[in-house]
Chains A and B, each alone.
Chain A
């Protein structure tokens, strides 16, 4: 298993689906472990009844059907399926609406979905998902990207209320890829993924949605900056190490 995860870390991020397929066929006995530890770009389905798209994930799946957060129905229809309680469903509806606004503010497009369900410990788990196609032909406002994809998966485990406080444990995963193609720099592509966790204890009186929303906003921002500065920055550093820019080279000559 260690080796399988190692392989997945080294394969080009854009090929992660093929790599996972390959591993699943080589070591099918580890399928559930692999599928639960590896993130892949999100898939989308259209809920024709409500006319909106929703994101597919393990948390809204039952057998081969997926539950739409808009209509709360399984597509394709499924008998005897799992649903959140009516109270949780109310929270889920509110979460979807407000997360859609959040998504629009930061992403200027894209698709979002929120799924909730009760867990064993009298708390609940919520999964906030965003998928954005930032390419010229997608929702990219500035037309910079030939190809651009951002997939965000935020899973928050909310503990039971104790003395008016609750534990929130957030695990965020961002997967992205972008490619620009122009005259001067040719084809320039960056892709990758990053995952972090964040735990907080917050007052329930502030509202679960506020608490979760603020955590997600904070961690998403941190991950975006980290990807941009640290991760992409390291690749930029590597390019300069391979071939230092001309000015530096010229400065060296007088010494030799």
Chain B
């Protein structure tokens, strides 16, 4: 297993000199940072003698680590290769929170100071990021928005908007839709499927406009789209996405729901699987992230297109509302229950710690006496 190796360093803002003073007298016998990171990225286990020494010291409780070189005059032993830089750049882009990839991109460009590597990394990372976050791009001529996702993907730069039967051509890095063209027959589902898709889309739109102040949704057929009539299975996917970006308030959030509806002809049952993911990032003089997800399972009977649509929308509405309520419960339990497992608000005595005003040597004894701790 690769080792991530870090020494923690604390910086009391006005005490930079202390760290330097200690370092001057230290000897350095450490791997450069570069090699460590490469190990992390390429899954190679460290084999240095330092590693073995640390390990033999403390088998049970030692968190294996190696110190990083932080002496100014020590040059890295190996320059990062073009590909390695690119992989690192991609990693940063892909891990940007919802709505923040452009801020990450700006900082990344400054750190990399290598346009070529950045551009190539961006070309590879942006499409993956955009699809996983299901970004919505406005289509020209006020046709509405298209949701970029793996469910609506035709080619890497073309995404189907089933509602308007158009295909949007997008620029992933710029995150815009450059133009649209009408979808051709092979890209659209059959009339039979479209009946179901259309009815479901209408119901979902109604639900989304009621429940989400700024939600977007789409229904795509991902399997069996050429089915002409009853007798075969097909699968529709409902996507609901909402994003709230408030960088001026240092707060961003996103909600993503993906519901796979498997229409099973033989058993005449609709097998429904849902995946909800909610994220929020607040970073004013601090940095906190929420990452919540849940999977759902449900089913209903195979009926006419309109009846199915209503049933599915009800199921989705029910589960999502319930999930939101349980998130609220989780939040309300935080201060007094969940957080307590990390740190209590006050000790069991319900008073502050009895720091005593006594001679330092007897401080411990006084405190123990006060708290009733026997020795």
Q: Do A and B bind each other?
A: yes
Residues on A lying within 8 angstroms of B by beta carbon are: 2-4, 6-7, 9-13, 15, 17-28, 31-32, 35-46, 48, 53, 56-59, 61-64, 75-76, 82, 90-91, 94, 97-98, 101-102, 105-108, 117, 119-120, 125, 127, 132, 134-135, 140-145, 148-150, 153, 155, 157, 169, 171, 173, 176, 178, 180, 184-195, 197, 206-210, 213-214, 217, 220-221, 224-229, 231-232, 234-236, 238-239, 241-246, 249, 253
Minimum Cβ distance to chain B for residue A115 (Å):
10
Within 8 A of A (CB), among B276-297: 276, 278, 280-283, 285-295
* Residue contact B282 to A235, C-beta cutoff 8 Å: yes
Contact check, B352 vs A64: say whether CB atoms are below 8 A apart.
no
Contact of A244 among B21, B213, B293 (CB under 8 A): B213
- The answer on a CB contact under 8 Å between B97 and A243 is no
User: Given known contacts A63-B27, A171-B13, is B327 in contact with A188 (CB within 8 Å)?
Assistant: yes
Size bracket, chain B contacts: 35 or more
Answer whether residue B6 sits at the interface, using C-beta atoms and an 8 A cutoff: yes
Give the contacting residue for A191; candidates B27, B289, B363; CB below 8 A. B289
Which residue from A43, A148, A171 sits with its C-beta under 8 Å from B342? Answer: A148
| Chain B contacts to A: CB under 8 angstroms | 4-19, 21-22, 25-30, 32-34, 36-38, 40, 50, 53-54, 57-58, 60-63, 65-72, 75-76, 80, 84-85, 88, 91-92, 95-97, 100, 103-104, 106-112, 210-215, 242-244, 251-255, 276, 278, 280-283, 285-295, 320-331, 333-335, 337-349, 352-353, 355-361, 363-364, 367-368, 371, 373
Contacting pair B12 A98 (CB below 8 A): no
Question: Provided the pairs A7-B111, A234-B280 are in contact, do residues A46 and B62 lie with their beta carbons within 8 angstroms?
Answer: yes
Q: Can you add 7 more A-B contacts, CB < 8 Å, to A40-B6, A135-B341, A228-B335?
A: A21-B36, A24-B68, A63-B29, A120-B21, A194-B285, A235-B289, A239-B324
* Other-chain residue from A102, A193, A236 in contact with B353 (beta carbon distance below 8 A): A102
CB distance from B12 to the nearest CB of A (A): 4
Within the complex, the shortest CB–CB distance from B75 to chain A, in Å, comes to 8
Chain B hits for A94, CB < 8 A? 360-361, 363-364
Cβ distance A254 to chain B, nearest Cβ, rounded Å: 13
Q: What DSSP secondary structure best describes chain B's contact surface?
A: mixed
Distance (Å) between the CB of A237 and the closest chain B CB?
8
Contacts of A186 in B (CB 8 A): 276, 292-295, 323, 326
In the assembled complex, the Cα of A113 lies from the Cα of B191 at a distance in Å of 70
Q: How far is the CB of A181 from chain B (nearest CB, A)?
A: 10
Contact, CB under 8 Å: A58 / B65: no
How far, in angstroms, from A117 to B293 measured CA to CA in the complex? Answer: 46
CA distance A188 to B363 in the complex (A): 42
Contact (Cβ within 8 A) A217 B290: no
Inter-chain contact A157/B58, CB cutoff 8 Å? no
A140 to B54 alpha-carbon distance, docked (Å): 28
- Known contacts being A63-B28, A185-B327, is A101 close to B367, with CB within 8 Å? yes
- Whether A221 contacts B288 by the Cβ 8 Å rule is no
Set of chain B residues within 8 Å of A64, measured between Cβ atoms: 29-30, 50, 54, 66-67
Nearest residue (CB) in B for A75 is B57
